[in-house]
């Protein structure tokens, strides 16, 4: 009886760790969705944290234009389309809606841009556009 209990505790601990790891995992499309949301919010700090080291400077530049406009994403949906070397390629659908100082809102389709996403430090990171 004691032996069964001594095996039960490590098994429960392992299951708890596995469930926790799965709950925290983010996919490549999730990473791009988070990047785009931070971009329209003009959140430079968040953008750089979601970027690979090679893309951090560009991420800071990506945030700047959105600080002076009202922007939002409509019907955002991203998916993996393939691989290129160590990068996973992601495309998104949806619309970027931008309104500047009371002007009529402008809409821009998100289709047509391919995002490069890599695993860096164990996390999916935005690392370029095509």
Q: What is the DSSP string of 66-96?
A: GGGSEEEEEEEEEEEEEEETTEEEEEEEEEE
**Full set of structural domains in the chain with CATH:** 27-129 (3.10.450.50)
CA atoms within 13 A on the CB side of 5: 2
pLDDT digits (tens, 9 = 90+) for 68-101: 899 999 999 999 999 999 999 999 999 999 998 8
Residue by residue, pLDDT tens for the chain (130 residues) are 545 544 443 443 333 333 334 444 689 999 999 999 999 999 999 999 999 999 999 999 999 999 889 999 999 999 999 999 999 999 999 999 999 888 899 999 999 999 999 999 999 999 999 9
């Amino acid at each position: 009886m004691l032996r069964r209990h001594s095996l039960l505790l490590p098994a429960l601990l392992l299951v708890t760790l596995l469930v926790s790891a799965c709950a925290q995992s983010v996919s490549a499309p999730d990473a791009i969705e988070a990047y785009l949301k931070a971009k329209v919010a003009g959140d430079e700090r968040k953008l750089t944290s979601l970027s690979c080291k090679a893309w951090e400077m560009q991420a800071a530049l990506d945030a700047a234009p959105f600080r002076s406009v009202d922007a939002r994403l409509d019907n955002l949906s991203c998916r993996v389309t393939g691989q290129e070397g160590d990068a996973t390629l992601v495309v998104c659908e949806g619309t970027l809606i931008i309104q500047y100082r009371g002007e009529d809102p402008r809409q821009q389709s998100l289709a047509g841009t391919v995002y490069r996403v890599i695993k860096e430090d164990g996390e999916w990171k935005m690392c370029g556009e095509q």
